[in-house]
Amino acid sequence: MRRQLQITNGVAQSEWQGSGGMPIPPDSTWTFVDVTDRPDAKVGMLYDAATDTFSAAPVVPKTRVSKSQVISVLTPQEWATANNSTEPEVVWGMAQFQLADYVDLADPRFAQIMGGLVAKGILTPQRAAAVQADLSALANA
């Protein structure tokens, strides 16, 4: 039985196993590569047609965290200070946080909110960096 990987835009998208000829690609963006003798070739890998080689796809870091994860990395004092602030930038940031279903660390609003917390003295720049690092670790755990 032959094993082929369907390659679309340089990525192995799906696997086909069977006897007989190669499957017919639906359009020119698809190709099928026979990997019967290449057990390491798997769906999700990158394919370089010029060298006929497969490599692992790059790991894309996750950036979403839950609101409870955000609260978990702040101290009670930091949370209370931010929550009780009357500074417009902080009030706006806390409203964004309350309305969100999740927090995306890559969203420009997150950087803006963190910058506001630093500008208003609620977090130091070093503490803001530590909070972001802790959240990134939680997103990718």
Distance CA 57, CA 55 (A): 6
Q: What is the DSSP track for 59-113?
A: PPPP-EE-HHHHHHHS-HHHHHHHHH---HHHHHHHHHHHH-SSEETTSHHHHHH
The residue extents of the domains of the chain are: 2-55, 64-139
Write down the pLDDT at residue 25.
62
| pLDDT < 70 regions, the chain | 20-26
Residue 60 confidence (pLDDT): 87
pLDDT at 18: 76
pTM of the model: 0.65
Residue-level pLDDT at 23: 61
